Chain A
Amino acid sequence: MNRLKASVLMRHEVGLHARPSVKLTKLAKAFESKIDLGLSPDGPWIDAKSIVKVMATRAPKDSTIYFRAEGSDAKAALDALVMLVDGDFQDGP
């Protein structure tokens, strides 16, 4: 199994708040891979599919979000999550 990493700067004005977190966890759940999220390159890691845990990071504006994914669709998952955060959580096309 391949394990991949990615990171992205979050510019959303209120940080990883309810609406962005709902979008992020929904997107993460669309993939089979196990996906973790952290606020530093070495973790600690939390389950990116859990809104309870994602909201608990209280990530403020201008944090860098790190993802790591392990599974058959890990690459696609990371691409999609980075695009969501980089696009300021707007509704994609």
Chain B
Amino acid sequence: MDHRTHRSGHRVEGRSAAPGIALGPLVRLVAARPEASHSRSAVGAQQALAVALAASRLDLVGLAGRIEDEDAEAILSFQIALLDDENLAAPAFALIADGEVASKAWVAAIDPEIATYDQADDPYFRARATDLRDLRDRVLRRLAGEVDQAVPSGVIVAAEDLPPSVFLATDWRGGGLVLRRGSPSSHVAILARSRGVPMIVGVDIDHLESGADAVLDGDAGALIVDPDPKLRADYERRLAQQSETREAASSFSGPVSTANGEPVRLMINVTGLAELRDMDPSKVDGIGLMRTEFLFQGREKLPTEEDQYRIYRQMAEWAGGKPVTIRTLDAGGDKPIAGLTEPGDLNPFLGVRGVRLSLRRPEVFRLQLRALARAAVVGNLKVMIPMVTVPEELDRSRELFGHAIDELRGEGHEAAMPQLGMMVEVPAAALAIEDFNADFYSIGSNDLIQYVMAASRDEPQLADLARPSRAVFNLIGHIVDHANRHGREASLCGDLAGDPQQVASLLDQGLRSFSVAPGALGPVRAAIARYPGKAA
């Protein structure tokens, strides 16, 4: 008999970060921990450390050879250079000679080094602490005799947290993700929604064991370990339905319309070129939101005008003549960027973020506007400004755009003024929408909801408040009315647009343009097609 209390259908609650169902074995990713084994002699322990250092170096060289990303390559070269520097491990070898075990000696040698990076004033240096921690853990895993933990496909991964780089390197077909940390607005969550990977956060992962059969319900925000056969069968059915819907969505092309034949525009939200690789532009009405934050994050230095131009141009080329709506840098709030945003903002969501930051860092904004003006020559580019609160912010942005274009033309570059629109996410802007000189409006429902309801979407206790209410729908209706009366487009690009259960309410407000994560295209298209028209 199994003497552990192994309840059938043990349910662990979390918060939904990306919808969908996954069934499969659990794999728990464990952070490396020093094991205190006293079995080795000092000489044996020194040898073990030397072997672990050499093996780690080989791992890193192997990784560097497979990776094409320039920034990732820079991090790996730095880690390799650290291993090549005997100054790094010298204190560890000395401690071992004095009787310390290898793993503890290694940690004692590298942790003070990590601390000096953690305490650096310069955010670039501070960010390197992560690279040293990563290196510390790699060597510890080697000391413990573990090989590199690769994430297999088709499993439900449970971990404390997952860096975006690991997420991107994993084959998620049939799999799902369970994290203790992170939030529905974290970058991994955005990536998961965009790729259709079910994901939940805020989960107590302590008692989860690798190998257990599990169901991840990304819709309800729960994980069920060892489901009973009936429950498992239910979920298998739902999973089959989900694949059918997704299949239907991906085989569908042509215009989207409601049951009574009204055309609706359906676009996608993206973070970079990678998501467009498997996507057929004929199946969508364009890109309704390109988040440029990802171009700025996790890098050693800010992207150049040329880096940005290349990406914007390729997006415009991908879309053919369809619109590509690029949002200027929306840093700050929950999206800090090393070297740009200020740490220690007391209330980051009400602080210097979005256009507020861009107007205070004109040299960074200028490069982005130049890259956009150059790419606007190639395709149907639209540019939107995030966090606009008063009309002057939009006017100032338009003025800076004009300067950037004059400057480019003076240098002999081709440049064009794209349509310039605004994100409507601050209640002040939504209420006085008629004061803004915008070519189009894009409603950012995530922030609009939390600002209207005064409830953080990352506070689980307030989940009931941080939802679209009548107040939110009234504001959306107000914006859409204004846009329709003036012949301008209003679309909605927040998570609200990707929720099939909210589609009818949004259509009721007159909204006829949606921009959703690629994974939500099928369900939203189906919900639009079911819509019979506004009830009298």
Contact = CB atoms under 8 A, between A and B. Distances in A.
B113 A52 contact: yes
B231 interface: no
Contacts of A53: 87
Interface stretch (B116-124, B353-361, B463-471, B508-516): B116-124
Contacts of A26: 81
Interface of A is mostly: helix
Interface in A60-83: 60
Contacts, number: 52
Nearest to B116: A56
A20 to B, nearest CB: 10
Interface in B115-160: 116, 120, 122, 124-125, 128, 131
Nearest to A52: B87
A60 B113 CA distance: 19
Contacts of A18: 74-75, 77-78, 128, 131, 300
Given A52-B85, A53-B87, A19 B122 contact: no
A19 B73 CA distance: 10
B273 interface: no
Interface residues of B, number: 21
Given A15-B122, A17-B125, A17-B300, A22 B78 contact: yes
B88 interface: yes
Nearest to B83: A51
Interface of A: 13-15, 17-19, 21-22, 25-26, 47, 49-53, 55-56, 58, 60
B74 A52 contact: no
A17 B124 contact: yes
Contact of B122 (A52, A56, A58): A58
Going nearest first, the 4 A-B pairs with the smallest beta carbon separation are: A18-B78, A52-B87, A51-B81, A22-B81
B301 interface: yes
B74 A25 contact: no
B61 interface: no
A25 B85 contact: yes
A53 B128 CA distance: 14
A54 to B, nearest CB: 9
B303 interface: no
B336 interface: no
Contacts of A17: 124-125, 300
A14 B81 contact: no
Contacts of A55: 125, 128
Nearest to A18: B78
Contact of A52 (B77, B82, B124): B82
Contacts of A49: 85
B86 to A, nearest CB: 8
A64 to B, nearest CB: 18
Contacts of A52: 82, 85, 87-88, 113
Contacts of B75: 18
25 contacts: A13-B301, A14-B300, A14-B301, A15-B122, A18-B75, A19-B74, A21-B81, A22-B77, A22-B78, A47-B87, A49-B85, A50-B85, A50-B87, A51-B82, A51-B84, A51-B85, A52-B82, A52-B85, A52-B88, A52-B113, A53-B87, A55-B128, A58-B122, A58-B125, A60-B122
A93 B301 CA distance: 23
B174 interface: no
B124 A14 contact: yes
B348 interface: no
Contacts of B120: 58
A52 B75 CA distance: 14
Contacts of B85: 25, 49-52
B339 interface: yes
B72 to A, nearest CB: 12
Nearest to B71: A19
Interface in B41-90: 74-75, 77-78, 81-82, 84-85, 87-88
Of A26, A49, A55, most buried by chain B (CB within 10 Å of CB) is A55
A48 to B, nearest CB: 12
A40 B77 CA distance: 28
A63 to B, nearest CB: 12
A25 B84 CA distance: 10
A81 B36 CA distance: 44
Interface string B368-390: 00000000000000000000000
Given A14-B301, A18-B128, A58-B125, 9 more contacts: A15-B124, A18-B78, A18-B300, A19-B77, A26-B81, A47-B87, A50-B85, A51-B78, A55-B125
A19 to B, nearest CB: 5
Contacts of B74: 18-19, 22
B232 to A, nearest CB: 48
A60 B124 CA distance: 11
A89 B131 CA distance: 21
A51 B77 CA distance: 11
Contacts of B125: 17, 55, 58
Nearest to A12: B301
Contacts of A22: 74, 77-78, 81
B131 to A, nearest CB: 7
Contacts of B87: 47, 50, 52-53
A25 B301 contact: no
Contacts of B128: 18, 55
A79 to B, nearest CB: 22
A19 B301 CA distance: 10
Nearest to A26: B81
